[in-house]
Amino acid sequence: MAKNGGAAKASAKPQTLLGYYRDMLLIRRFEERAGQLYGMGLIGGFCHLYIGQEAVVVGMQAAMQPGDQVITGYRDHGHMLACGMEANGVMAELTGRAGGYSKGKGGSMHMFSREKNFFGGHGIVGAQVSLGTGIAFANRYRDNGAVCVAYFGDGAANQGQVYESFNMASLWKLPIVYVVENNQYAMGTSVQRSSSETHLHRRGASFNIPGEEVDGMDVLAVREAGARALKHARTGQGPMLLEMKTYRYRGHSMSDPAKYRTREEVDAVRQHSDPIERLKLRLMEDQVADEAALKEIDREVRAIVSASAEFAQSSPEPDASELMTDIYR
Amino acid sequence: MPKKSYRQAINEAIRQEMRRDPNVIVLGEDVAGGQGSSGGPGKVGSVFGVLAGLYDEFGADRVLDTPITESAIIGTAGGAAMTGLRPIAEIMFADFVGVCFDQIYNQAAKFRYMFGGRAKTPLVIRTTIGAGFRAGAQHSQTLHPLFTMVPGLKVVMPANAYDAKGLMIEAIRDDDPVVFLESKLLYDSDGEVPDEPYRVPFGEANVLREGKDVTVIGTGFMVARAAQVAAELAKSGIQCEVIDPRTTSPFDEDTLIESVQKTGRLVVVDESPPRCGLAADISSIVAEKAFKALKAPIRKVTCPHTPVPFAPNLEDEYMPNPRRIEAAIREVLAA
């Protein structure tokens, strides 16, 4: 990972940069609040926070076109917010309420929005890669010009069906970008301890899928790489694989004390590579915004998050009859 | 009415639906077949020839040979279905679902519910079931209980050519994932099959033969065996009522319960191992809902709790056969 300030100076308009800052901050604040609600016992079960990885989804979303689709695994809150799904609906799903995107029947890992082209939140490691391949197949079949972005983690990168999908997608030249979010740990096992080839962008080589390593802590680097990959896929050249080098600050899930790494390791990333701080530094250096303007963005974002937390507690529980609906048409 | 084989009936259903709806596609191993070989494309039409000729009519965009990678077949089909395509994915033998079961029971089957009704998955998974082919332990199983126990899946077991066509059309038009289990031993069986498209609804049992003495229920290939035994016993005055539920999920409880209320006796014939299977499930339904009507204990005729053996004499004994079915019927009548 590059250090703060070391980012390539990709060009972007001031308002665009501020938009990325706001979108990353929204995810950060949302996740912090979700962590609090979990600690208060208002969210049950699993809750996988995205803190630290915000630049990946915000950068990719910036490179995407309307109609492109997203599918991901269980660490999905950031992806949904980046797709433009409502914070209220996401937070209320975390608390299992009727106002949640899945009416409280899915939980943290399982939400879906056709309107925002978000195809889920999937809980089985690697399964979304095959499904995303099918979405890309449908794009090609319909010749609609859309590309599917399928996210998975460094843990999923070792799953068999990922490679079955790579083979099929490359064989059929499907419009898909595979994004490995390499946050260094598959649950508690480091990439070094779980992967024979730790350079995950090379994993497409035997399927003729070009790969690229990307600084996943730099939203502009992500955007640039994303644009290249999306163009590759959209122009009929088949899939591309992006390895986002990133880091999650929290444990695998809320119940993970993260004893497999040192506090110093986490602190070093926070201090030197934090995606939000890095962009903030650039915004200030380039005099795009001053401290006051950035504080204003923080206020706006906190208001959205607070409202979502309130909604998530005031929205009613799903009606008992919901137990028996949505099983079949 | 024209006579067609079970195989032709399924082919005709898929062909007519593909003509009607451009969202219907077919994918699987060797379903086009021979592409790039000296034999030329369209020469295989899947291992049992069910899809013969589809490639010639619909081409490579809609009839796709896949690598031998079942997880990617079902995953890709499921993902495409989420966008509104209506893929028909073939798993050559039901035994192979072990490779891709995650995509069936954790993914496709769950989407509608876990996404709160926002997603639908109009996917048909065709696969073949049944022993009797001397194919050994990994190409002969009848795994309908595995699918039937999964909420979100519909499970279809056509027992004759007419039903095969109507149930396939129903499956393709259904908005939920449907597992369509084709009995290998029925592919060459003939029946009257109308030329025009028609639907056979799910969850409506077929009463093949009415009778007052004993209810005999079975699925797939076992329906023919049960009917054969019933015809024999009729000669000696034993009147069996033979029921084919057609689909195990949804399951037509009403027709079964009504029949048992009348006959007071039940024999369940099921080609699968005895534990946690369909025969046990059907028996429990009747025990709960029609216990007072029973004049004798329910008898199950199933496979033993063993893998499918290879040697012909062992395999013939493994499957519920006419001798065992008749013995069970005589036993409940004697009780």
User: In this predicted structure, what is the pLDDT of residue A166?
Assistant: 98
Question: Nearest Cα to A178, choosing from A140, A149, A215?
Answer: A149
For B93, phi then psi, to 5°, come to: -130, 140
Domain locations along chain B? 3-192, 206-334
**Helix A14-39 and helix A275-285, axial crossing angle in degrees, nearest 10:** 150
> In this predicted model, what pLDDT tens digit does every residue of B46-72 receive, in sequence order?
888 899 889 989 999 999 999 999 999
Nearest CA in chain A to B85: A138
CB within 8 Å: A168 and B102: no
Residue among B103, B151, B174 whose CB faces A130 most closely: B103
Helix and strand numbers (H, E) in chain B are: 12, 14
Q: For all residues of chain B together, what is the average pLDDT?
A: 95
Per-residue pLDDT of chain A (329 residues; tens, 9 = 90+): 444 444 456 778 889 999 999 999 999 999 999 999 999 999 999 999 999 999 999 999 999 999 999 999 999 999 999 999 999 999 999 999 999 999 999 999 999 999 999 999 999 999 999 999 999 999 999 999 999 999 999 999 999 999 999 999 999 999 999 999 999 999 999 999 999 999 999 999 999 999 999 999 999 999 999 999 999 999 999 999 999 999 999 999 988 888 899 999 999 999 999 999 999 999 999 999 999 999 999 999 999 999 999 999 999 999 999 999 999 99
**List of residues 6+ apart from A266 with CB closer than 8 A:** A247, A249, A258
Q: Where do we find the tokens 């998530």?
A: A312
Q: How far is CA A172 from CA A69, A140, A207, A233, B65, in A?
A: 18, 9, 11, 12, 11
- What are the residues of chain A with a beta carbon less than 8 Å away from any beta carbon of chain B? 69, 71, 100-107, 110-114, 119-120, 122-124, 127, 129-139, 141, 160-161, 164-165, 167-168, 171, 325-329
Chain A partners within 8 Å of B22 (Cβ) = none
User: In this predicted structure, what is the pLDDT of residue B1?
Assistant: 87
> In this predicted model, what pLDDT tens digit does every residue of B136-189 receive, in sequence order?
999 999 999 999 999 999 999 999 999 999 999 999 999 999 999 999 999 999
What is d(CA A297, CA A317) in angstroms, rounded to the nearest whole number? 32
Distance from CA of A121 to the nearest CA of B (A): 9
Cβ(A60)–Cβ(A222) under 8 Å? yes
Nearest CA in chain B to A109: B114
User: In this predicted structure, what is the pLDDT of residue A7?
Assistant: 47
Question: Nearest Cα to B16, choosing from B134, B159, B136, B168?
Answer: B168
- Test mutation, B76, B147, B170, chain A, max A CBs within 10 A: B76
What is d(CA A38, CA A21) in angstroms, rounded to the nearest whole number? 26
> In this predicted model, what pLDDT tens digit does every residue of B32-51 receive, in sequence order?
875 445 555 556 778 888 99
Distance from CA of A231 to the nearest CA of B (A): 22
CB within 8 Å: B85 and A138: yes
User: In this predicted structure, what is the pLDDT of residue B32?
Assistant: 86
Architecture of domain B206-334 in this structure: 3-Layer(aba) Sandwich (3.40)
Please pick, among B139, B173, B262, B324, the residue that the annotation labels catalytic.
B139
Residue among A106, A161, A168 whose CB faces B114 most closely: A106
> In this predicted model, what pLDDT tens digit does every residue of A187-236 receive, in sequence order?
999 999 999 999 999 999 999 999 999 999 999 999 999 999 999 999 99
Rg (CA), chain A: 19
Distance from CA of A136 to the nearest CA of B (A): 8
- pLDDT exceeds cutoff 90 at B2: yes
- SS3 state at B292: helix
What is d(CA B301, CA B306) in angstroms, rounded to the nearest whole number? 14
Residue among B25, B79, B176 whose CB faces A131 most closely: B79
**DSSP β-ladder status, B24-28 and B86-91:** parallel
CB within 8 Å: B85 and A141: yes
Q: Kindly report the number of other CB atoms within 10 A of residue B309's CB atom.
A: 18
What is d(CA B228, CA B223) in angstroms, rounded to the nearest whole number? 9
What is d(CA A282, CA A263) in angstroms, rounded to the nearest whole number? 27
What is d(CA B190, CA A62) in angstroms, rounded to the nearest whole number? 59
CB within 8 Å: B75 and A112: no
What is d(CA A275, CA A280) in angstroms, rounded to the nearest whole number? 9
| Torsion sign, CA atoms B140, B145, B146, B150 | positive
Nearest CA in chain B to A71: B79
Q: Which CATH class is domain A14-315?
A: alpha beta
Residue among A131, A137, A327 whose CB faces B107 most closely: A131
Q: Kindly report the number of other CB atoms within 10 A of residue B224's CB atom.
A: 19
Nearest CA in chain A to B61: A141
Annotation: CATH topology of B3-192: Rossmann fold (3.40.50)
CB within 8 Å: A130 and B175: no
For A182, phi then psi, to 5°, come to: -85, 90
* Helix locations, chain B, DSSP H: 6-20, 54-58, 70-82, 97-101, 111-114, 144-148, 161-173, 221-234, 253-263, 278-289, 312-318, 322-334
Q: What is the mean pLDDT of residues B237-254?
A: 98
**List of residues 6+ apart from B46 with CB closer than 8 A:** B28, B29, B30, B31, B33, B52, B90, B92
For B107, phi then psi, to 5°, come to: -100, -85
H or E, element range at A121: strand A118-121
- Quick check: is B305 catalytic? no
Domain locations along chain A? 14-315
Cβ(A159)–Cβ(A166) under 8 Å? no
CB within 8 Å: B72 and A113: no
Q: Is the peptide bond before B250 cis (omega within 30 degrees of 0)?
A: yes
Chain A partners within 8 Å of B25 (Cβ) = 141
User: In this predicted structure, what is the pLDDT of residue B28?
Assistant: 95
SS (H, E, C) A190-238: EHHHHCCCCCHHHHHHHHCCCEEEEECCCHHHHHHHHHHHHHHHHCCCC
CB within 8 Å: A110 and B76: no
Residue among A69, A133, A139 whose CB faces B75 most closely: A133
**DSSP β-ladder status, A240-245 and B178-183:** unpaired
Strand partners, A242: A179, A212
CB within 8 Å: B115 and A102: yes
User: In this predicted structure, what is the pLDDT of residue A258?
Assistant: 87
